[in-house]
Amino acid sequence: MYRLWWGLILLFIITIIYFNIFILGNKKVIIAFYPYLLGISGLLGLSLAGIYFTSDFSLIFKVLFILFFLFGVFTFIQICRNKQSLNNYYLERNQYLEQLTELAKTDTEYSLKDKRQEGISNLIERTSGLDLTINNQAEPIFKEEDIFAEMLAQLKEAEDHIHICFYIIRDDQIGQKFKDLLIKKAKDGVEIRIIYDRLGSHQLGQKYKGELRKVGIEIEAYNDLVTSILRGKLNHRNHRKNVIIDGKVAFIGDVNLGDEYITGNKRESIQVKIEGEAVSWMQKVFLLDWYYVTGDQILERRYFPEQNMKNRLPIQLITTGFDTPWSEMNKSYFALITAAQEEIYLVTPYLVLNDNILTALQTAALRGIDVNIITSKKTDSILLSWSNMSFFKKLLKAGVSVYHYQDEFLHSKMLLVDKEILSIGSANFNTRSLYLDYELNIVIFDQDFSNKIMEEITLNLEQSKKWKLEDYQQLGILDKLKLLIGRLVTPIN
């Protein structure tokens, strides 16, 4: 028993080291292989069980040596294979993107309001490769029931094609409504492609997918469990959420396809409906994802119809993923925060900050910017809630206003700067969104649109509890222990 306790303590220490080792190396590379590092921890756990049940240390050592050797070789091979495949895919992706861009080229001349906005736009273009678009119109949709109703209404109007990407698709009431409508549209001759994340949608059954495929709908998963393990990509997911209809109308935001957005512990969400030139870029992003999951490069002009939008609304997309060199979302968030001149409003369900984003927020508050962060008290994980709160102290000390949304699960992901620059989409302020997952946001450079979003943020503030530094300091020992645990597991959140 004595040896077992010491073994458990050793296991705990090694696990903490694994959770924090990313600080010492390239974050994308290290945190991508947590599943394999945790596998080694599992082997150590087996060794502890062996010590407890037998005294034949020679046998235990031989078995463990073989297991560790095989697992270590497997992990090393996966790292090498993954690095090479990422390089190859990134080159091929860029070549395909150039072809798509040439196919749907626009000659629109544009200029932004000031040098600050131009600087942010330049950063996005140089890291993501996505140009600013000007001729657009956009409408925010705030109620979840209205979001799904408007999506379904637009899907009914589809004449040529429908492209859908969700992290989660569920076989529930909402999922059935979408499935039935898509089947009807497919029978009417509309071409339909669907991408879903295999782990995010692990409960989606073969019956649901089979009914779609039976009528000619193409539905493909981003990396199933076995493929993810063999390719070293278990920790990489496609977290994007977008719908494109006929290349003319698109939806982007934070909703997945499931009843949890309208029933039970509802997820408070925002979706943006877009028409205009920005839809063409959303189409390109979808086709790049389709190329990843199928290997098919689609180059047809009909997916990029002429956009006759005369309304002026500057919109630029930001894509990010584990296979790109710039950590685009991280850099864009950093640029937006440091560009603020008056105020910042950050809304996110998951507040797991890396050093540079944390420093940027602290610095903004210390130089007199009104920095406000709204995060959800209710999340889908106790550990995530603890992780969120573990950052409150450093933020409060710098003068950041921190709010806990009390009503339901606040699922929106937004960064609003000076009520004139807005980033909104699928990316959270956490490790997964900044380094691991495929994400898609839009940045809108417009005061009128930002004011509409600010009205919703004001409602969120009214339903939130504002934290004070003394509130944090008065937490009990048990609460502080929870926050310590939350901080230890932040690298995997």
Q: Which residues carry out catalysis?
A: 239, 241, 246, 411, 413, 418
| Pick from 325, 332, 321: nearest CA to 439 | 321
Task: Decide if 322 contacts 32 (C-beta within 8 A).
Answer: yes
Task: Look up residue 345 and give its two tokens.
Answer: 């409003």
Rg, Å, the chain Cα set = 24
Listing DSSP states for 437-481 in one string gives SBEEEEEEE-HHHHHHHHHHHHHHHHTEEEP-HHHHHT--HHHHH
227-237 burial, b for 16+ CB within 10 Å, e for fewer?
Answer: ebbeebbbbbb
Which own/partner contact pairs does 3-11 have at CB distance under 8 Å and 24+ positions apart?
Answer: 3/51, 3/52, 4/48, 4/51, 4/52, 7/47, 7/48, 7/51, 8/48, 10/44, 11/41, 11/44, 11/45, 11/48
Q: What are phi and psi of 418, to 5 degrees?
A: 55, 25
DSSP state of 434: I
| Pick from 312, 234, 328: nearest CA to 278 | 312
Task: Decide if 330 contacts 352 (C-beta within 8 A).
Answer: no
Q: How far apart are CA 456 and CA 215, in angstroms?
A: 41
Half-sphere exposure of 212 (CA within 13 A, CB side): 23
Task: Look up residue 458 and give its two tokens.
Answer: 């004001």
Other beta carbons within 10 angstroms of residue 465's beta carbon come to: 11
DSSP state of 257: B
Other beta carbons within 10 angstroms of residue 357's beta carbon come to: 19
Task: Look up residue 396 and give its two tokens.
Answer: 């409060």
Task: Decide if 241 contacts 255 (C-beta within 8 A).
Answer: yes
Q: Which residue has the tokens 């946001």?
A: 441
Instruction: Identify the sign of the CA torsion 405, 437, 415, 26.
Output: positive
Q: How far apart are CA 448 and CA 454, in angstroms?
A: 10
| Pick from 43, 38, 42, 44: nearest CA to 21 | 38
Task: Decide if 208 contacts 243 (C-beta within 8 A).
Answer: no
